[in-house]
């Protein structure tokens, strides 16, 4: 079976190998991730970043690590509607999966940060909301880490231990969190037994014009925004979740891309994240407002809230009970069972 989505996967091609660079262990037909020139990948940086990712000393009161909101067992999400910061303050957005974040051209829900190195600064030092709570505590953070990590930073970076090298190390580790071992991937690679009949019917529905899922969840990463060596694209969508004023407005304080651009038509536009491992990453949507995949399908089946600003792709559809079961079964087949136990991704 060769459908449009499978052909996209196969078309990515195998990366060339540079013996002097970090040696990526990539799934079949995954392209080489883009790495900033000022932060090349090395084993020393990745090992250091892995340790930092799980270290609670990166929060003001020593209660939370990056992994508190990005747990490998949940495909690097946290299972909450929105995260709780180190001080107990609730977040605004659902914790997005870090799986395949190396291929993201945008590192946030509303495209205000591109590089992972810069994104890490937001949870560490941001104040609206408070997450790690380190604003104003930069010197304290460096002092905390010096004894255990000083030599490792000296080995990994010319400038040793700094706030910048902390985020650069974490970014290097995050780029290694790559998932492409689902049964769907095996099916795309030619193993026709990897998906059962219902899951194959679900794949056909997923790709069908009737549902239109691939308008927003496309390519090898099943997402709307991506960056490879050859191309970079960012697409954000208003999926018709809200219309609080009859003119398409979203709730104050969480209005999507308009908060960045000020452009009225950007109201409610958010990035469509990867669907890989989607069965592990509930709840869903940018604000965690859908508890289950059934609830997500209900929303799209009804055509959203019919806001004047919602995407023209959100038109509604009808599914039989069997078709709904097939679609959910296919989404389950996007789970990479090795994510939670891969020793490269845990401390």
Largest CA distance in the chain: 61
Tokens of 55: 């270290």
Identify whether residues 139 and 211 lie together within a single domain: no
**300 and 234, same structural domain?**
yes
According to the model, what pLDDT value does residue 54 have? 98
Same domain, 154 and 239: no
Distance CA 255, CA 43 (A): 40
Q: Tokens 């090898």 sit at which residue?
A: 220
Q: Flag whether 337 is in a domain.
A: no
Q: Note whether residue 197 is domain-resident.
A: yes
Please identify, among 132, 147, 175, the residue that sits at the C-terminal boundary of a domain.
175
Question: What CATH number did the domain enclosing 126 receive?
Answer: 1.10.760.10
Residues 205 and 296 in one domain: yes
Task: Write down the pTM of the prediction.
Answer: 0.91
Range with the lowest mean pLDDT among 82-86, 106-110, 191-195?
Answer: 106-110
Q: Residue 90: beta bridge partners?
A: 84
CA 339 vs CA 178, 182, 188, 288: distances in Å: 9, 10, 19, 22
Residue 155 belongs to some domain of the structure: yes
Is residue 6 a part of any domain in this protein? no
By the 8 A CB rule, do 57 and 68 touch? Answer: no
Pair 270, 163 in one domain: no
Would 216 be classed as within a structural domain? yes
Task: Flag whether pLDDT at 228 surpasses 90.
Answer: no
Kindly report the average pLDDT of the chain as a whole number. 92
Q: Are residues 290 and 198 in the same domain?
A: yes
Q: Tell me, what DSSP letter sits at residue 53?
A: H
Same domain as 208, residue 73 = no
Could you list the residue range(s) of the whole structural domain that residue 253 is in? 183-332
| Residue range 301-347, pLDDT digits in tens | 999 999 999 999 999 999 999 999 999 999 999 999 999 889 998 87
The predicted pLDDT at position 4 comes to: 46
- Whether the per-residue pLDDT at 15 is higher than 60: the answer is no
Q: What average pLDDT does range 81-106 have in this prediction?
A: 95
User: In terms of domains, do 247 and 121 share one?
Assistant: no
Are 96 and 144 within one domain?
yes
Q: Are residues 243 and 324 in the same domain?
A: yes
Q: How far apart are CA 342 and CA 347, in angstroms?
A: 10
Q: Which of 175, 204, 233 is the last residue of a domain?
A: 175
Q: Are residues 153 and 222 in the same domain?
A: no
Residue 294: pLDDT over 90: yes
Q: pLDDT tens digits, residue range 146-173?
A: 999 999 999 999 999 999 999 999 999 9
Q: Is residue 163 part of a domain?
A: yes
**DSSP type of residue 233:** E
Determine, yes or no, domain membership for 345. no
165, 189: one domain? no
Total of domains in the chain: 2
Q: In this structure, which long-range contacts are made by residues 85-88, counting pairs with CB atoms below 8 Å and at least 24 apart in sequence?
A: 85/129, 85/130, 85/131, 85/132, 85/133, 86/59, 86/60, 86/61, 86/130, 86/131, 86/132, 86/133, 87/60, 87/61, 87/130, 87/133
What sign does the CA torsion over 105, 111, 115, 116 have?
negative
What pLDDT, on the 0 to 100 scale, is given for residue 18?
A: 42
pLDDT at 107 over 70: yes
Residue 298 lies in a domain: yes
Burial of 143 (0-12, 13-18, 19+ CB in 10 A): exposed
Write down the pLDDT at residue 17: 38
Q: Show which of 175, 193, 221 is a domain's final residue.
A: 175
Window from 22-31, 51-60, 269-278, 322-331 with minimum mean pLDDT: 22-31
Asked if residue 231 has pLDDT above 60, the reply is yes
């Amino acid at each position: 079976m060769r459908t449009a989505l499978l052909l996209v996967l196969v078309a990515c091609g195998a990366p060339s190998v540079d013996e002097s660079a970090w040696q990526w262990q990539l799934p079949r037909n995954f392209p080489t991730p883009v790495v900033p020139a000022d932060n090349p990948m090395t084993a020393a940086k990745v090992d250091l970043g892995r340790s930092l990712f799980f270290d609670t000393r990166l929060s003001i009161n020593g209660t939370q690590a990056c992994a508190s909101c990005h747990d490998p067992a949940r495909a690097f999400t946290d299972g909450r509607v929105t995260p709780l910061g180190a001080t107990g303050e609730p977040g605004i957005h659902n914790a997005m999966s870090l799986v395949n974040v190396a291929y993201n051209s945008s590192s946030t829900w509303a495209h205000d940060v591109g590089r992972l190195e810069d994104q890490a600064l937001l949870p560490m030092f941001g104040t609206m909301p408070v997450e790690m709570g380190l604003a104003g505590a930069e010197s304290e953070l460096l002092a905390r880490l010096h004894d255990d990590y000083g030599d490792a930073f000296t080995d990994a970076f010319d400038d040793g231990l700094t706030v910048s090298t902390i985020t650069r190390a974490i970014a290097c580790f995050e780029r290694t969190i790559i998932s492409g071992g689902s049964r769907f991937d095996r099916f795309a690679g030619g193993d026709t037994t990897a998906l059962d009949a219902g899951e194959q019917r679900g794949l056909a529905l997923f790709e069908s014009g009737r549902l239109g899922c691939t308008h927003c969840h496309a390519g090898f990463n099943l997402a709307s925004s991506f960056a490879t060596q050859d191309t970079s694209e960012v697409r954000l969508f208003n999926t018709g979740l809200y219309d609080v004023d009859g003119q398409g407005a979203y709730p104050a304080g969480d209005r999507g891309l308009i908060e960045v651009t000020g452009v009225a038509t950007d109201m409610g536009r958010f990035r469509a994240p990867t669907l890989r491992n989607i069965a592990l990453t509930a709840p869903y949507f940018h604000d965690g407002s859908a508890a289950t995949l059934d609830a997500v399908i209900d929303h799209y089946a009804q055509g959203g809230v019919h806001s004047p600003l919602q995407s023209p792709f959100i038109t509604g559809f009808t599914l039989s009970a069997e078709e709904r079961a097939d679609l959910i079964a296919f989404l389950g087949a996007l789970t990479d069972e090795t994510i939670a136990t891969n020793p490269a991704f845990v401390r």
